Amino acid sequence: MKMKKGAFSGVWCMVCVLCLMVFSSGAQEETQASPSVFFPEPAYTFEAVFEGATVPHDFVIRNKGTGVLDVKRVAGG
């Protein structure tokens, strides 16, 4: 059985389109579930205090993404 060139090209195009749809849907799922860190107050200037004094301040970290934001380490500068 011999397949015509036009029919073969049509089948080949359909296979390529299906492959692209499968691979692009996987990429969209990865980007949709990614975290996006946001700092409403990226810097804070502490006023002068005596050495050894405790100065409390809450640093807010927000996740504007759809995935889980995992804060593993925090360090002072």
Spell out the per-residue pLDDT of the chain, length 77, in tens.
555 555 445 555 555 555 555 555 555 555 578 999 999 999 999 899 999 999 999 999 999 999 999 999 988 76
Number of domains in the chain: 1
Look at residue 18 and tell me if it is in a domain: yes
Look at residue 33 and tell me if it is in a domain: yes
Q: Whole domain around residue 48: which residue ranges?
A: 5-63
Q: Which of 72, 67, 70 is nearest to 34 (CA)?
A: 67
The widest CA-to-CA distance across the chain, in whole angstroms, is 92
d(CA 62, CA 58): 13
Look at residue 17 and tell me if it is in a domain: yes
Look at residue 13 and tell me if it is in a domain: yes
pTM of the full structure:
0.48
Look at residue 39 and tell me if it is in a domain: yes
Q: Which of 7, 27, 8 is nearest to 19 (CA)?
A: 27
Look at residue 29 and tell me if it is in a domain: yes
Note the pLDDT of residue 69. Answer: 94
